[in-house]
Amino acid sequence: MSDRIIPEATKRRMPIYYKYFKSQQEAGTKRVSSKSISDSLDIDSATIRRDFSYFGELGRKGYGYNIDSLVDFFSEQIFGKTVKKVAIIGVGNLGSALLRYNFGGNVSNSMQLVAGFDIDETVIGKTIGNCVVYNMDELNHIVKEKNINIAILTVPKESAEEAKIAIENAGIHGIMNFAPVKLTGHEGLVIHDVDITLELQSLCFNMKLSRGE
Amino acid sequence: MSDRIIPEATKRRMPIYYKYFKSQQEAGTKRVSSKSISDSLDIDSATIRRDFSYFGELGRKGYGYNIDSLVDFFSEQIFGKTVKKVAIIGVGNLGSALLRYNFGGNVSNSMQLVAGFDIDETVIGKTIGNCVVYNMDELNHIVKEKNINIAILTVPKESAEEAKIAIENAGIHGIMNFAPVKLTGHEGLVIHDVDITLELQSLCFNMKLSRGE
DNA sequence: ATACTTATGCGACATTAAGCACTATTTGTG
DNA sequence: CACAAATAGTGCTTAATGTCGCATAAGTAT
Ligand SMILES: NC(=O)c1ccc[n+]([C@@H]2O[C@H](COP(=O)([O-])OP(=O)(O)OC[C@H]3O[C@@H](n4cnc5c(N)ncnc54)[C@H](O)[C@@H]3O)[C@@H](O)[C@H]2O)c1
Ligand SMILES: NC(=O)c1ccc[n+]([C@@H]2O[C@H](COP(=O)([O-])OP(=O)(O)OC[C@H]3O[C@@H](n4cnc5c(N)ncnc54)[C@H](O)[C@@H]3O)[C@@H](O)[C@H]2O)c1
C-alpha cells in the first residue's frame, strides 16, 4: 500500500509522530505499539496503524514497532537523506532569539542552523549562537557554499516580499515565514507561515468556547 | 442556526477569517463576498458561507458581508467583550523578543501585552517594550491588579511545569506554551502549544512531497 | 417600475477521515 | 514446542467535512 497517496490528515500528523518517537528514543524506549502511542498522543490506535500503513508494513504483529527503525524511517520521510541546512533572514529580535536557540540542539542530526543574513551593518559580521551573520549581498554565494535548503524569514513585514525574492533567487525552495504578510512564490517554492497572533486568537477562542467566560 | 455546535474545522478557520477581515478593514474595504474571501484565503466559498451560517445570518443576499460588522462580530466571538490582558512568563531570548514586538501593535484593541515575569534579578525591574518585568513572586498580586487573562510561557523546558503551576494558581485560565514539553492542567485551563521545530518539520515534509527533491 | 445581476443560505450529495471489529501473525512463556 | 497473549494490518461502518445547485432576496441599471 505504499503508492504515494497520503491523506492530508495523515500528513499533518507526521511531525507529531516524529516528535514523539524522538522523545521516546531519548528516554531509552526500545519498542512501542499503536496502543502506547495512542495513549500518549490521544490519537485512535486504528488511525495510527492506518497512517503507518500508507508507508508500508512498518511493524511486526504481536510485537509492535521498533523505535529506532521508526525514527530512521520517519526522519527520511520528513527530511530526506541529507541534513537540511537552515538560514535566518533578518537577525533582529526574533531572528537572533532563534539563532541563540538553535532548535534547542534537538534536531541537529536532521536540521542545522548554519547562517544568519541581514542588511544592518551593526549585526553583520557578528556571531550569534554558533552562526555568523552575513550581508544579504552574500546570500547567493553562501547558500551555494553551505548548501542551504531552508530560510526562516524574520524581517519586518515591509521587507518580506523583497527578501522572499532574494531567497527564491538564491535557489532556496522552502521558507518559514514569521512576517504577518501573505507571500506567494513560483511553483516549487514551499512557504509555511507561522503567525503568533493567529495562535493567540486560537487560544482565546478555545477559552471562550470551553469556559463560556 | 446559532445553537453552539460549531464543527472543529470551522473553529480552526475562525482566526484565519478574523485576520483577513482586519487586513481588509485596514485597507479600507467596505464589503466582501464569500467569493472574494475564497479567492484570498483559498477556502471554498460554500465552506465559508456554511461556516458563517453557524453563527446566524451574517450576510445579505445579493450584497455580501459588511466588513465592519464582520470584524465586530468575529472579534466578540473570539475575544469576548473585554480586552484580553497577556503576560510573558520568562523574559529570555524569546520572551523579550515578544515583549518588544507587542503583537506588532495590531491586535491592541482586543489583546494587550501588559507585563513580564521572571526569576532572574538581572531582568526583573527592567522595562521592555512598554512592559515592566516583575518578580515571579508578584505574579498573584499583579495578575489580580492588572486583570491578566493569558500567559505566554517562554521559560526553559525544565521550569515549564513549575511555572505552569504558578500561572494556574494565580487564576489565569489560558496558556500559550513555547516550551517543548507536554503540559497538562486542571479542568478549565486551556493550553495551546506552539512548537517551532514541529513547524519546520512540517515545512520539510511538504517540500519533500511537493518537490520529490 | 422592470429586467437583470449578484450572492446568500440551505438542502442534498460527495468526499474524506475516523473508528470498529476481525484476521493473521509473531512473541514470549512455561 | 505448544499455546496464550499481544498487536499489526485492513475491509467495512459511521461520522465529519466539503461541495453543488438552486430558490430567494437584495442590489443595480435602464
Ligand atoms: N519579535 C517577535 O516576537 C515576533 C513575533 C511574531 C512575528 N514577528 C515578525 O517577525 C518579523 C521580525 O520581527 P522582529 O521583532 O525580530 O523585528 P526586528 O526589526 O527586530 O528585526 C528585523 C531584522 O530584519 C532586518 N532586515 C530588514 N530588511 C531586511 C532585508 N530586506 N533583508 C534582510 N534583513 C532585513 C533588520 O535589519 C532587522 O535586523 C516581523 O515581521 C514581525 O512581524 C516577530
Ligand atoms: N529562543 C527561541 O527562539 C525559541 C524558539 C522556540 C521555542 N523556544 C522555547 O522557549 C523557551 C525559552 O527559550 P529562550 O531561548 O527564551 O530561553 P532563555 O533561557 O533565554 O529564557 C528563559 C527565561 O526564563 C526565565 N525563567 C527560568 N525559570 C523560570 C521560572 N520558573 N519562572 C519564571 N521565569 C523563569 C529565565 O530567567 C530566563 O530569563 C524554551 O523552553 C525554549 O525551548 C525558544
Query: Does the structure show a pLDDT above 70 at A3?
Result: no
For residues A167-176, average pLDDT: 97
Does B8 contact strand D, using a CB cutoff of 7 Å?
A: yes
Query: Does the structure show a pLDDT above 80 at B107?
Result: no
Kindly give the distance from the C-alpha atom of residue A163 to the centroid of ligand 1, in angstroms, as a whole number. Answer: 11
Q: In the prediction, which pLDDT does B103 show?
A: 84
For A25: left if phi > 0, alpha if psi spans -120 to 50, otherwise beta; the answer is: alpha
Range of weakest confidence among A1-15, A69-83, A187-201, B198-212: A1-15
| CATH fold for domain A8-77 | Arc Repressor Mutant, subunit A (1.10.10)
Kindly give the distance from the C-alpha atom of residue B118 to the centroid of ligand 2, in angstroms, as a whole number. Answer: 10
Provide the 3-class DSSP secondary structure of residue A40.
helix
> What are the pLDDT digits (tens) for B36-73?
999 999 999 999 999 999 999 999 999 999 999 999 99
Kindly give the distance from the C-alpha atom of residue A92 to the centroid of ligand 1, in angstroms, as a whole number. Answer: 5
How far is Cα A171 from Cα A87, in angstroms, rounded to an integer?
13
Atom of ligand 2 nearest to the CA of B92: 21
How far is Cα A77 from Cα A15, in angstroms, rounded to an integer?
10
Asked if A177 and A153 touch (Cβ cutoff 8 Å), the reply is: yes
Going A158 to A152 to A51 to A5, the CA torsion angle's sign is positive
CB contact (8 A) between residue A201 and residue B173? no
B93 among annotated binding-site residues: yes
> What are the pLDDT digits (tens) for B69-89?
999 999 999 999 999 999 999
For A64: left if phi > 0, alpha if psi spans -120 to 50, otherwise beta; the answer is: left
> What are the pLDDT digits (tens) for A80-135?
999 999 999 999 999 999 999 988 776 567 899 999 999 999 999 999 999 999 99
How far is Cα B132 from Cα B140, in angstroms, rounded to an integer?
15
Say how many C-beta atoms besides its own lie within 10 A of residue A143's C-beta: 23
Taking the CA atoms of residue B17, residue B22, residue B23 and residue B27 in that order, the dihedral angle to the nearest 10 degrees is: 140
The one-character DSSP state at B108 is T
For residues A4-30, average pLDDT: 94
How far is Cα A163 from Cα A156, in angstroms, rounded to an integer?
10
CB contact (8 A) between residue A199 and residue B176? yes
- Strand C, nucleotides < 7 Å from a protein CB: these are 5-11, 16-21, 24-28
Least CA distance to A77: which residue of chain B?
B205
Which residues are paired to B203 by β-bridges? none
- Strand D, nucleotides < 7 Å from a protein CB: these are 5-11, 16-21, 23-27
> What are the pLDDT digits (tens) for A18-53?
999 999 999 999 999 999 999 999 999 999 999 999
- The Å distance, CA of A106 to C1' of C30, is 44
Which residues are paired to B176 by β-bridges? B152, B192
Q: Does B105 touch chain A (CB under 8 A)?
A: no
* Residue range A84-198 in CATH 3.40.50.720: yes
CB contact (8 A) between residue A103 and residue B197? yes
HSE on the CB side for A210, CA within 13 Å? 17
Let me know if B201 is exposed, middle or buried by CB neighbors in 10 A (0-12, 13-18, 19+): buried
Which residues are paired to B75 by β-bridges? none
CB contact (8 A) between residue B97 and residue A101? no
CA distances for B100 relative to A176, A209, B103, B135, angstroms: 21, 30, 9, 19
Nearest Cβ partner for A192 among B104, B195, B203: B203
Q: Does B6 touch chain A (CB under 8 A)?
A: yes
pLDDT band at A213 (very low <50, low <70, confident <90, very high): low
Q: What angle do CA B22, B28, B32 make, to 5 degrees?
A: 70
Q: Does B107 touch chain A (CB under 8 A)?
A: yes
Q: Read off the C-alpha cell for A90.
A: 533578518
Q: How many CB pairs lie under 8 A apart between chains A and B?
A: 172
CB contact (8 A) between residue B84 and residue A111? no
Provide the annotated binding site of A. Answer: 90-95
Shortest Cα–Cα distance, B44 to chain A (Å): 17
pLDDT band at B187 (very low <50, low <70, confident <90, very high): confident
How far is Cα B93 from Cα B109, in angstroms, rounded to an integer?
26
For the CA of A129, the nearest ligand: 2
pLDDT band at B1 (very low <50, low <70, confident <90, very high): very low
HSE on the CB side for A93, CA within 13 Å? 18
* Residue nearest C17 (alpha carbon to C1'): A9
Query: Does the structure show a pLDDT above 50 at A1?
Result: no
Domain ranges, ordered by start, for chain A: 8-77, 84-198
Residues of chain A with Cβ-Cβ distance to B96 below 8 Å are 93, 97
